Amino acid sequence: MYNLLMLVCRACFDELQTEHTYTWMTLDLLSDLLYLLDTLVRIRTGFLDQGLLVHDLKRLRQNYMKTRLFKLDVASILPTDIAYIWLGPNFPELRYNRVVRIYRMSEFFQRTETRTNFPNLFRISNLVLYIIVIIHWNACIYFAISKVIGFGSDQWVYPDVNIPEYSHLMRKYVFSLYWSTLTLTTIGETPPPARDEEFVFVVCDFLVGVLIFATIVGNVGAMISNMNAARANFQTRVDGVKRYMRLRGVTRTLQDRVVAYFDHVWAYGKAGDEAAVLASLPIRLRAEVASNVHMETIRKVRIFADCEAGLLIELVLKLKPQVFGPGEYICRKGDVGREMYIVKDGRLAVVSDDGLKQFVVLSSGSYFGEISILNIKGSKSGNRRTANIMSIGYSDLYCLSKDDLMEVLTEYPDAKQALEDKGKAILMKDGLIDEECTNVGPDPKTLDQKVSHLETLLDGVHTRLARLLAQQGSSVASTRARLTSLETAVCGIVSSLGSATPTLLTITTPPEE
């Protein structure tokens, strides 16, 4: 950035270079040292080969030297300013090759945009920076052209520097910057050109200005659209729900509750679909993200406390977020328990049947329903809910369904038995299990599943047998038809030989020797 902004400025404004020569030489030396250091770092920068990071210095060096960037880096550190020995130190244009390394700034912007939490703001800042750089270079070129033509020779060029008002360095730069800004933004209001070279320069400036204006409008419009894309998609969903409720005559009170729910979801950034967001990640990386978010919480559940890590990782991938509004029941006493819940945020209350009396308040980190999804044999409550649980305000919960748990446990049979044993111990401690039922024997449901499986296999055998019998019948019929056709042909041959009475031939198979 230093070379990009200052080299052209020092080359066009003589006072800036001559009055601070030693300062610029020191800064130039530091800049060259940074360029060399950057080149050394690039030589030792690893790269991915089939997904594996390469560390071998020889391969790193060979890979870097094959790239186009190596040629640009070499061009940017060529010691062209050695010509200072013959021309003097006041020719900064000899260092213009340093500007070649501007691509590093673009790389920095791209990587920062990927990592920043405010990408749209960063894109706007980049756009403004690019425009400022273009206006800065154009201002310096305008002043250089004025110097070549002659200051004050006409109205278009910079005024005569002998006039005290226009003799200061700051006035020269600010005037040139003002002229460049007016021209490139196509505002105009500058003196018209008088010479051919002035006309050519102004025409080029106008063309560049049109491109800049189009770029600004396009980029800013795209950024604003991207910034509002999430809100627009969310609003479309809300409008669809509102139209449906009006069409179906939903009561006004319920409509207000639905709108309040959407307002809460948007205000607290919960409008996104977690599953859709994580779906773009590979399964293992998705599992790591889910584990980082949920692992500590799920380990707090009593029955999962000592489970192996593989099982817990599978479970956290099955957790689904749910939001409940004020006064909504998560479950009622006597409901069939098909899910367990973990409270992420908010407060829940265990209430009486009429919902007026609160017994216990559950807060963040609490959980319930873990026993009901195990469907433990002998439980006095079966897999029914034993309490009414209501959300006090808006509450965020994570839900694990019974079907998802059983799907995971099919791959972990030992863990399934361990979970059932833990569940039985908990129920026994609370006096909620019938010990006689636990000793009855195998689970009837398991036996039914085995019988169903055997019936399915038997049906398959019957189907295959029927298919084979059908094929056999078809083969016999085909053979009979061919024999009949052959018999008819033989009879015809005999008739043609003059036999008066056709002889019915009987085809027999000769006995085996």
Tens of pLDDT, residue by residue, the chain (513 residues): 887 888 888 888 888 888 888 888 888 889 888 888 988 888 888 777 766 777 778 888 888 888 888 888 888 888 888 887 788 777 788 888 888 888 888 888 888 888 887 887 888 888 888 888 899 999 999 999 988 888 888 888 888 888 888 888 899 999 999 988 888 887 777 888 888 888 999 899 888 888 888 887 787 777 777 777 777 888 888 899 999 998 888 898 888 888 888 888 887 776 666 777 777 778 888 888 888 888 887 887 877 877 888 888 888 888 888 888 888 888 888 888 888 888 888 889 988 888 888 888 888 888 888 777 777 765 666 677 888 898 888 888 888 888 888 888 888 888 877 887 777 777 777 666 665 555 544 555 555 666 777 778 788 788 888 888 888 877 887 888 888 888 887 787 877 775 544 444 444 444 444
- Contact of 301 with 367, CB cutoff 8 Å: yes
Contacting residues for 376 by C-beta, under 8 A, at least 6 apart: 420, 423, 424, 427, 433
**Angle between the 196-247 and 119-149 helix axes, to the nearest 10 degrees?**
160
pLDDT of 112? 85
The whole-angstrom separation of Cα 58 and Cα 288 is 34
The alpha helices in 13-118, defined as continuous H runs, are: 14-18, 21-43, 57-65, 68-76, 84-87, 103-115
Kind and range of the H or E run holding 459: helix 444-496
Q: How far apart are CA 137 and CA 205, in angstroms?
A: 11
Q: How far apart are CA 188 and CA 137, in angstroms?
A: 18
Q: What are phi and psi of 356, to 5 degrees?
A: -90, -30
The two tokens of residue 150 are: 């002659």
CA distance 21 to 88: 11
Cα distance between the two ends of the chain: 105
Place of tokens 């034993």: 386
CB 324 within 8 A of CB 330: yes
Predicted pLDDT at 508: 45
Confidence (pLDDT) at 184: 85
> What pLDDT is stored for residue 448 in this prediction?
62
Single-letter code of the amino acid located at 184: L
CA 50 centroid distance within chain? 22
Which pairs with CB-CB distance under 8 Å and at least 24 residues apart come from 481-485? Answer: 483/507
The predicted pLDDT at position 437 comes to 52
Entry pTM: 0.58
pLDDT value, residue 434: 61
